[in-house]
C-alpha cells in the first residue's frame, strides 16, 4: 500500500491494470483501447503496464475497442476498457452487446459533454444515455472512490450471481485531471481480492457452442428476465463485495447510496458525482444553522437503488434532484428515476428537478444555495429548473 498524489485517470488506470494482472494465474487479460479527451491518460496508463499474461490492443475506434474486449472476455479472460462522451456514443452498439452477452467487462467512463457544440467538460449525459443496457452504473466523487469502485466492479461483475458488465463513472477534469492523495493497494492485496475469473459460458476451442445466434421471442424474453433477476441481486452482492473490500484493503468503498444528515431532514438534496461533495459541505453548514436539510448521494444508478432511496428520505417533504444531464423533451435522468421510485409508495413528497452543471458548468456552493432557496419556498411541483442560465438581466442593470 502506498499513498500517492495522482489524478482520477491515473487512479482508474492503476485499478484496471492491477485487476487485469491479478488474472495472470487464470486466462489472463486483454482489452482494446482508444483515446478521447479527457480519458486518454487511462488508456496510456494501461498501454504501458507490464502485464505478465495480457495484451493491450490499440485499435482504430471505440467500437472495436469494446469488440476486442468482448472477444477476450467471451474467451474467459478479464477485460476492460475506458471511454467518454462521443466515444461512448460510437461504441454504443457493442456496449449493448457486452451486456446481453453477460460479459463481466469493466469500463471506466469519464463523464464529458456530448458534442456538438464541442465541449470537453463534465456532463453525465454520455453514460446516462446507456442507462437501459444491461450494465451496472456507478458514479464516483473523488479519486479514491474511482480506484476503489473500479476494483470492486470486477469482483461484482464476475460474481456468478451477477455476470454483468459495470460502468464506473467520474466527472471530467474535476476528477479525471485533478491530483489528490490516493491510496494505491499492492498487487498482492488485489490478487487476494480478485479471484481467478471463471466465466461459465465462455467459449472453449473444443466445445461446439454458438454464442449469440437467433432466438425466438420466448427465448429472448427469458434472457431479459434473467438479466432482471441478476439486477435484483446486485444490492445484496454489492454489500458482500463491499465487506470483503473493507477486510482486504482496510477501507470502505462506500454504500450504493450515501446519506448525510437525512435522519430528520425535511428537505433532501439528491446528487451524484462531485456535485455531492459540494452539496454535502453546504448541507453541513445549514445543519449548523439548525436547518433540517440532508443529502443523498446516489453512487449506484443501475440498478436504481429505489428502496434504499425511499428509506433514506422517510422524513422528507421536499426533495431537490440535481441533474448534470438533460434528456431532451423530459428533464434530468436522475430526477425521472427518483420520481418513479416514489410513485405509488409516497405521493406526499415534492420532488423537484434542478438542471445544473450541464456542459461543464460549475456547481458551486452558491448554486446549491439557490437550489435550497427555491425548494424551501416551493409548494407545488414545477418544470425542471435550469440553473445558471444567464438571462442577461443582471448585466443590463
Q: How far apart are CA 26 and CA 325, in angstroms?
A: 40
Length of the chain: 397
In the bound complex, what is the minimum distance in angstroms from residue 241's beta carbon to other proteins?
Answer: 25
Binding residue for other proteins (CB under 8 A) from 50, 116, 117, 212?
212
**Burial class of 13 by CB neighbour count within 10 A (0 to 12, 13 to 18, 19+):** buried
Nearer to other proteins, 100 or 292 (CB): 100
Q: Give the range of 56-64, 183-191, 270-278, 385-393 binding other proteins by CB under 8 A.
A: 56-64
Size of the site for other proteins (CB under 8 A): 47
Residue 112: CA count within 13 A, CB half-sphere = 27
Nearer to other proteins, 89 or 327 (CB): 89
| DSSP SS3 for 267 | strand
Q: Which residues contact 173 (CB under 8 A, 6 or more apart)?
A: 38, 120, 121, 122, 360
207 lines the binding site for other proteins (CB under 8 A): yes
Provide the grid cell at 323.
441533474
64 lines the binding site for other proteins (CB under 8 A): yes
In the bound complex, what is the minimum distance in angstroms from residue 43's beta carbon to other proteins?
Answer: 16
**CA–centroid distance for 122 within its chain:** 14
Nearer to other proteins, 2 or 210 (CB): 210
Q: Give the range of 40-48, 55-63, 107-115, 388-396 binding other proteins by CB under 8 A.
A: 55-63
Q: How far apart are CA 167 and CA 76, in angstroms?
A: 19
In the bound complex, what is the minimum distance in angstroms from residue 233's beta carbon to other proteins?
Answer: 20
In the bound complex, what is the minimum distance in angstroms from residue 378's beta carbon to other proteins?
Answer: 47
* Region for 327 from its dihedrals, namely left if φ exceeds 0, alpha if ψ lies in -120 to 50, beta otherwise: beta
In the bound complex, what is the minimum distance in angstroms from residue 69's beta carbon to other proteins?
Answer: 6
Q: Give the range of 47-55, 140-148, 250-258, 294-302 binding other proteins by CB under 8 A.
A: 47-55
Q: Which residues contact 258 (CB under 8 A, 6 or more apart)?
A: 276, 296, 297, 299
Nearer to other proteins, 80 or 139 (CB): 80
Q: What is the largest CA-CA distance in the chain?
A: 77
219 lines the binding site for other proteins (CB under 8 A): yes
Cell 461512448 belongs to residue: 88
59 lines the binding site for other proteins (CB under 8 A): yes
In the bound complex, what is the minimum distance in angstroms from residue 90's beta carbon to other proteins?
Answer: 11
275 lines the binding site for other proteins (CB under 8 A): no
Q: How far apart are CA 20 and CA 32, in angstroms?
A: 13
**Positions in 70-129 near other proteins (CB under 8 A):** 70-77, 79, 93-94, 97
Binding residue for other proteins (CB under 8 A) from 3, 48, 60, 329?
60
Which H helix or E strand runs over 58?
strand 54-58
Q: Give the range of 168-176, 178-186, 199-207, 337-345 binding other proteins by CB under 8 A.
A: 199-207
224 lines the binding site for other proteins (CB under 8 A): no
b/e burial code for range 238-251 (CB count within 10 A of at least 16 → b): beebbeebeebbee
Provide the grid cell at 43.
488508456
217 lines the binding site for other proteins (CB under 8 A): no
- For other proteins, the binding residues (CB under 8 A) are 27-28, 30, 32, 53-55, 57, 59-61, 63-65, 67-77, 79, 93-94, 97, 201, 203-216, 219-220, 223
Amino acid at each position: 500500500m502506498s499513498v500517492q498524489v495522482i489524478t482520477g485517470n491515473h487512479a482508474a488506470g492503476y485499478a484496471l491494470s492491477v485487476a487485469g494482472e491479478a488474472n495472470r494465474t487464470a486466462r489472463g487479460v486483454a482489452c482494446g483501447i482508444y483515446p478521447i479527451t479527457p480519458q486518454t491518460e487511462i488508456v496510456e496508463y494501461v498501454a504501458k503496464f507490464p502485464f505478465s499474461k495480457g495484451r493491450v490492443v490499440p485499435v482504430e475506434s471505440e467500437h472495436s475497442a469494446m469488440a476486442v474486449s468482448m472477444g477476450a472476455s467471451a474467451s474467459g479472460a478479464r477485460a476492460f476498457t475506458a471511454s467518454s462522451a462521443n466515444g461512448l456514443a460510437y461504441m454504443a452498439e457493442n456496449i449493448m452487446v457486452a451486456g446481453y452477452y453477460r460479459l463481466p467487462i469493466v469500463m471506466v467512463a469519464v463523464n464529458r459533454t456530448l458534442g456538438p457544440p464541442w465541449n470537453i467538460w463534465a456532463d453525465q449525459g454520455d453514460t446516462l444515455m446507456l442507462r437501459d443496457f444491461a450494465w451496472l452504473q456507478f458514479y464516483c466523487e473523488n479519486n479514491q472512490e474511482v480506484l476503489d469502485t473500479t476494483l470492486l466492479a470486477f469482483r461484482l461483475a464476475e460474481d456468478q450471481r451477477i455476470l454483468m458488465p459495470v460502468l464506473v463513472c467520474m466527472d471530467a477534469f474535476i476528477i479525471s485531471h485533478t491530483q489528490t492523495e490516493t491510496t494505491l493497494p499492492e498487487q498482492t492485496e488485489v490478487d487476494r481480492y480478485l479471484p481467478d475469473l471463471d466465466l461459465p459460458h465462455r467459449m472453449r476451442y473444443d466445445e461446439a457452442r454458438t454464442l449469440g445466434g437467433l432466438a425466438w421471442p420466448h427465448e429472448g424474453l427469458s434472457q431479459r428476465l434473467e438479466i432482471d433477476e441478476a439486477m435484483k441481486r446486485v444490492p445484496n452482492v454489492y454489500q458482500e463485495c463491499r465487506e470483503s473490500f473493507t477486510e482486504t484493503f482496510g477501507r470502505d468503498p462506500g454504500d450504493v447510496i450515501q446519506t448525510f444528515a437525512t435522519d430528520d431532514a425535511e428537505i433532501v438534496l439528491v446528487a451524484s458525482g462531485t456535485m455531492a461533495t459540494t452539496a454535502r459541505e453546504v448541507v453541513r453548514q445549514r445543519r449548523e444553522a439548525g436547518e433540517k436539510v440532508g443529502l443523498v448521494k446516489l453512487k449506484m444508478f443501475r440498478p436504481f437503488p429505489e428502496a434504499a432511496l425511499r428509506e433514506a428520505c422517510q422524513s422528507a417533504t421536499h426533495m431537490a434532484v440535481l441533474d448534470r444531464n438533460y434528456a431532451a423533451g423530459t428533464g434530468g435522468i436522475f430526477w425521472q428515476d427518483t420520481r418513479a421510485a416514489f410513485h405509488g409508495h409516497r405521493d406526499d413528497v415534492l420532488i423537484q428537478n434542478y438542471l445544473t452543471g450541464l456542459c461543464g458548468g460549475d456547481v458551486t456552493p452558491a448554486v446549491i444555495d439557490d437550489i435550497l432557496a427555491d425548494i424551501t419556498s416551493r409548494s407545488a411541483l414545477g418544470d425542471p429548473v435550469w440553473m445558471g442560465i444567464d438571462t442577461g438581466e443582471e448585466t443590463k442593470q
